[in-house]
Amino acid sequence: SAMKEVDFIFHFAGINRPENEIEFFQGNSDLTQNLCALIKDSGRKIPIVFSSSVQAGSHGSYGNSKRLAEQHLLSLRKQLGNQLHIFRLPNVFGKWCKPNYNSVVATFCHNAINCIPLEVHDPDKVISLVYIDDVIKQFLLLIEGDVREKDSDGFEVIEHQYSIRIGDLREKIEAFQA
């Protein structure tokens, strides 16, 4: 019944730290497939913003489940012609991020505050970071009709992104601790 009245869908639901691998698919691709069926049944061209992950480009279970979710949404767009905005988000940092769950910055800060060593497996690995307020700002602009240019693969891009070697990030957080 909600599909009769909703004007815009922000699909942020998903699983990223399950107890078993099947939950990746239940909470990411299956949930999205069910959402698409509800939208299709409504007959409405409801715009959708989907928070996917850069991991959708990898071959792990999490990445595969997010990529399948994207495919369900792309299929829906092909059938209905609705607006679709897929964000393959990199590492997000800022308020509401949880240590040891969804943010390397939050994990490093938590560990530094609690005198837990900041473990890094590959200090030369470069990661991309986006600030949560920049992410939310771009989501809200979509409601207002401000559609930005997509990347070469057709995905939305957060305007302000930061690249840093993971070893340099560790050093910055450790400097704050000191």
Question: How confident is residue 37, by pLDDT bands cut at 50, 70 and 90?
Answer: very high
Query: How confident is the model at residue 42, as a pLDDT?
Result: 94
Query: How confident is the model at residue 148, as a pLDDT?
Result: 80
Query: How confident is the model at residue 30, as a pLDDT?
Result: 96
- For residues 71 and 78, the answer to whether their CB atoms sit within 8 Å is no
Phi-psi region of 7 (alpha: psi -120 to 50; beta: other; left: phi over 0): alpha
Query: How confident is the model at residue 150, as a pLDDT?
Result: 87
Q: What is the helix (H) or strand (E) element at residue 10, kind and residue range? A: strand 9-11
Q: Which residues are catalytic?
A: 62
Contacts of 13 (CB under 8 A, 6+ apart): 27, 31
Give ∠ CA 55-56-57 in degrees, rounded to 5: 85
DSSP string, 25-93: IIIIIIHHHHHHHHHHHHT----EEEEEEGGGGS-SHHHHHHHHHHHHHHHHHHHH---EEEEEE-EEE
- For residues 66 and 13, the answer to whether their CB atoms sit within 8 Å is no
Region 36-41 average pLDDT:
95
Query: How confident is the model at residue 177, as a pLDDT?
Result: 79
- For residues 161 and 130, the answer to whether their CB atoms sit within 8 Å is yes
pLDDT tens for each residue of 66-116: 999 999 999 999 999 999 999 999 999 999 999 988 899 999 999 999 999
* Whole-model pTM over 0.85: yes
